[in-house]
Chain A
Amino acid sequence: MNADAGAQAPSAAPLVEVRRLAKYFPVRGGLLRRTVGHVKAVDDISFALAPGEVVGLVGESGSGKTTVGRTMLRLTEPTRGEVRFGGADITNLARPELRDYRRRMQIIFQDPYASLDPRMRVQDTIGEALEIHGLAEGGAMHDRIAELLRRVGLEPEHMRRYPHEFSGGQRQRIGIARALAVDPEFVVADEPVSALDVSIQAQVMNLLRDLQDDLDLTMLFIAHDLSVVEYVSNRVIVMYLGRIMETAPAAELYRNPRHPYTEALLSAAPVPDPTVRRERIILEGDIPSPINPPSGCVFRTRCRYATADCASVVPELRPVGPDHAKACIRDDIL
């Protein structure tokens, strides 16, 4: 079995898909700023999202999860591999042809403070996208912005205000309204709640869930927080050092992790219940540098099940159950 087939969405034709995607960033050094190496941010990953599906992409720093999202939207050019949308290969589309796809794919950023232009009123921030894509103007645009603001739980009057007049949670709502203004089919939400206070996170997660449901959005939900991902996702992909370690339907992944990294990640996340005392798996050492990832399985240096073979073979993502796949050569564990 080859890597292409590893993490396909079940049934329906996918809306978005990446095939053998890789993104290497050059590392420059020395006097002449020559390329002295590469950060292998994403290395040979394939997966697909069915229409209306929410896929959670989980990983720690350096896992490449953000790069995957940006590459799917063609905000970052892939080094290798293919990005497909609605059945078409959009990897090499030039700007004019990409324009319609840009409307159909949107992003919600992590930091609601950095992602809104402080000098633009809310109506201009949201209206800009409508204008670029020729979707509304004049009175119709005003009405559309008012409707969007209501939709994300703000008031139409807010459109005349500037970002600094809003709290973090309200700004994230504005970022969501901006992304939804152009009626996208696919949304990448990149850590959309991790910069928010706990009491505000729940508001924004509920909002995203409602909007996804009402608008039948296809969504890639990127986060480091496993419990947040569990709350919003149909399916979960776990990444480590640029590679997919495991993917499964959400309930299956949390109940029955089959990859040692997923097992450790679930075990490391603190549970808000002082009466639960679990046997915790503490991974030794640090996450290796993506400039020089370990040979074979990238997780083997911290894996308690690693054998000599793990250093020589890059494990392929292979099926271990219905819609469940892992990149680990061992069958005798988990």
Chain B
Amino acid sequence: MNELASDLVLSVEDLRTHFETEGGTVRSVDGVSFTVRRGETLAVVGESGSGKSVTSLSVMGLIPTPPGRIVGGRVLFRGKQGDVVELTAMDDRAMRSIRGNDISMVFQEPMTSLNPVFTVGDQIAEAIRLHRGKTRAESKALAADMLDRVGIADPGKRVEEFPHQLSGGMRQRAMIAMALSCSPTVLIADEPTTALDVTIQAQILDLMRTLQRESAERMSIVFITHDLGVVADMADRVVVMYGGRIVEEGTAVDIFKSPRHPYTIGLLNSIPRSVRQDRDADADPGVIVDYRLEAIPGNVPNPMNLPPGCAFEPRCGHAVAQCGQAVPALTEIAGGHHSRCIRWAAL
């Protein structure tokens, strides 16, 4: 029985996605659960190998099989008609009718996700024709409308252009236009601004916020990123991943203001904070800032060879003997704030 609380649009339940390689099984995603409410932005944060991208590809049914395979868990989704479906049980054909229609995705590098031999307009129009049953001419007109909505100047001309004729920022806008052309319930954005300059990133983040606010369907966004600045900017709630598992989950304020997992704390301490306001006005402005970053020691774990207990234990300053023995449970600390650390109360 597929049940989903009425305010939820997506529920990932104990998802396990593994990859078979010559060196053994890589447990890229190993028991991940989270939900997405209608209209909210959930950020999934992690470094390389954390499993954040494999999680989103699993939800979209885009795991290359072989070598990858969803070996456990399920993903429930509420479609536009309000019907709840199990994405992980669908065949390719059923999934194709959902992808790009009910759930859309925006990737880091738009050049690799746009087809170089078709015009931008054709690619957006194709999605509209496929999912919304419009004619060729109607689709083309709607494509131009979408380009206009994402802030591309002269959309009538741009629909006839090929991806290489657009700048990086404009390509990402076109990608977002395509993703939103069928008014999806959920938009999954995987590092959508990582390849962009900071002034262009600000434009794209602003655009995503505006489109979300304006969407009649109260679109939800799952924002996958490694950039904590972007998370603070965009997210209502945050999931922090490490070694294929969620290590902390909470509201953006929980995560940034009272983090309760040593990895989250370490990540926050790793980013230089601006001290422009705190500096003594009389001090020599050319002196290097006097605080020191508390870097997390060691390396990001190899997903092929995770420690038996807490994946963060080898790098953790709070670790005790017990941490290396079993994977700690994700424990609720306060309403909606969870930590996968047995010592959370001592942090």
Contacts and interface: CB of A to CB of B under 8 A. Distances in A.
B232 A272 contact: yes
B285 A202 contact: no
A167 B297 CA distance: 13
Interface stretch (A104-112, A130-138, A274-282): A274-282
A271 B295 contact: no
Contacts of A269: 198, 229
Contacts of A233: 288
B268 A272 contact: yes
A311 interface: no
Contacts of B299: 167, 169-170, 200
Interface in A157-182: 167, 169-170
Interface string A193-209: 00001111111011001
A147 interface: no
A280 B273 CA distance: 18
Contact of A251 (B230, B283, B315): B283
A244 interface: no
A252 B285 CA distance: 6
B271 A250 contact: no
Contact of B228 (A228, A272, A275): A272
A61 interface: yes
A60 B197 contact: yes
A234 B266 contact: no
A214 to B, nearest CB: 14
A231 interface: yes
Interface in B255-295: 256-257, 266-277, 279, 283-289, 292-295
Interface of A: 10, 54, 60-61, 167, 169-170, 197-203, 205-206, 209, 224-228, 230-235, 248-252, 254-255, 264-265, 267-276, 280, 282-283, 286-287, 302, 323
A202 B286 contact: no
Nearest to A201: B270
Contact count band on B: 35 or more
Contacts of B295: 199-200, 202-203, 205-206
B52 to A, nearest CB: 12
Interface in B35-59: 47-48
What 9 A-B pairs come out closest when comparing CB atoms? A270-B229, A202-B295, A249-B286, A254-B276, A251-B285, A249-B285, A202-B270, A268-B202, A60-B197
A206 B47 CA distance: 19
A69 B292 CA distance: 27
B201 A268 contact: yes
B167 A230 contact: no
Contacts of B300: 167, 197, 199-200
B169 A275 contact: no
A275 B233 CA distance: 9
B205 interface: yes
B133 to A, nearest CB: 35
A231 B272 contact: yes
A10 B287 CA distance: 13
Interface in B225-263: 226-233, 235, 252-253, 256-257
A228 B285 CA distance: 17
Contacts of B257: 274-275
B296 interface: yes
6 contacts: A60-B197, A198-B228, A224-B197, A250-B288, A264-B199, A283-B199
B270 A199 contact: yes
Nearest to A210: B292
Contacts of A61: 197
Contact of A197 (B226, B274, B289): B226
Contacts of B233: 270-271, 274
Contact of B287 (A203, A234, A275, A283): A234
Contacts of B283: 251
Contacts of A205: 272, 293, 295
A280 B253 CA distance: 20
Contacts of A252: 285-286
Nearest to A234: B286
B70 interface: no
A283 B169 CA distance: 12
B203 interface: yes
A270 B231 CA distance: 9
Given A203-B295, A323-B286, A280 B271 contact: no
B274 A254 contact: yes
Given A60-B199, A230-B274, A273-B256, 10 more contacts: A60-B200, A227-B274, A249-B285, A251-B287, A265-B199, A268-B201, A270-B227, A272-B271, A275-B253, A286-B200
